[in-house]
Amino acid sequence: MIKVIGLTGGIGSGKSTIANFFKEFGVPVYIADDEAKKVMQSKEIIEAIKTTFGPEIFENDILNRGKLAEIVFNDKDKLTQLNAIVHPAVKKDFDVWLAQNKDHQYVVYEAAILFESGRYKDCDIIITVTAPEEVRINRVLKRDNTTREHVLSRMQMQWNDEKRISRSNFVINNTNLKNAKEEVVKILKILNFKQKQS
């Protein structure tokens, strides 16, 4: 029976880097944020977003992600409304993807808000990726060309590390890439992962 590894961590913790290590070892990875962006291009979702948030966040019928992000990351209720539109569609998409990868021993479901969205309940194993706050802030500043205040407000919208760790099976400290990769290897060994021979 296929097992789902939930991979999570706060903004700037380096979840994508860890997800790529799993990919290197042959574990299929589903990046929830990336897939949500694709799902949000469907007519049905666009209509629901337009109805909930108004047509002014669209330009020539194309969703302005920046405007939407500004609304939801400054208002928890609005974020909840957006998640109620997007999460069921992502879940449906993941179920299809899971069926396509059913011959694998493990798959990884990577999501920043694994706990907040309730999706952790669908995972057999949960890994939290951590890094010191300053390291995380600097990573996001470099990556997103944004402000420190914006990064901090995003952090406040998410669970803190202590809360995540208390509900996780494994924790990977992602400050040193070599050590982080070794942690992935260690976890796969504990899970008795059998690498597929291609």
pLDDT digits (tens, 9 = 90+) for 146-177: 899 989 988 988 899 999 999 999 999 999 99
- For residue 197, the model assigns a pLDDT of 46
Is 54 annotated for ligand binding?
no
Task: State percent of the chain over pLDDT 90.
Answer: 77
Predicted pLDDT of residue 195: 66
Q: What is the mean pLDDT of residues 39-53?
A: 92
Q: Is the residue at 197 inside a domain?
A: no
Q: pLDDT band at 24, cuts 50/70/90?
A: very high
Same structural domain, 120 and 144: yes
Q: Are residues 42 and 137 in the same domain?
A: no
Of 57, 79, 98, the residue that ends a domain is 98
- Which residue, among 6, 2, 1, has the nearest Cα to 108 in the 3D structure? 6
Residue 195 resides in a domain: no
pTM of the model: 0.90
153 is in an annotated binding site: no
Please tell me the predicted confidence (pLDDT) of residue 61.
Answer: 79
- Is 78 known to sit in a ligand binding site? no
Res. 64: pLDDT tops 80: yes
What is the average pLDDT score of the chain? Answer: 92
Residue with tokens 């060994």: 189
**Mean per-residue pLDDT for 105-127?**
95
Residues 172 and 81 in one domain: no
Domain that holds residue 19: 1-28+101-189
Q: Which residue in the block uniquely carries the two structure tokens 């993807």? A: 97
Average pLDDT, stretch 66-82? 88
Q: Are residues 24 and 105 part of one domain? A: yes
- For residue 131, give the CATH number of its domain: 3.40.50.300
Establish whether 9 is an annotated binding residue. Answer: no
- pLDDT tens digits, one per residue of 125-141: 999 999 999 999 999 99
- Which segments of 40-198 does DSSP mark as H helices, in order? 43-53, 65-72, 76-100, 133-144, 148-157, 161-165, 177-190
Domain co-membership, 156 together with 111 = yes
**Is the backbone of residue 14 left (phi > 0), alpha (psi -120 to 50) or beta?**
left
Residue 10 confidence (pLDDT): 94
Note whether 23 and 13 are within 8 A (CB): no
Residues 1 and 66 in one domain: no
Number of domains present in the structure of the chain = 2
* Domain co-membership, 105 together with 176: yes
Is 109 a residue whose pLDDT tops 70?
A: yes
Residue 77 has pLDDT above 50, yes or no: yes
Q: Is 16 known to sit in a ligand binding site?
A: yes
- 15 known member of a binding site: yes
Domain co-membership, 110 together with 180: yes
Specify if 49 maps to a domain.
yes
Domain boundary among 98, 126, 148: 98
Asked if 119 and 177 sit in the same domain, the reply is: yes
Q: Which residue is associated with the tokens 């291609």?
A: 198
Among 98, 122, 141, give the residue marking a domain's end.
98
Q: How confident is the model at residue 65 (pLDDT cuts 50, 70, 90)?
A: confident
Is residue 87 scored above 50 in pLDDT? yes
Cα separation of 126 and 7, whole Å?
A: 6
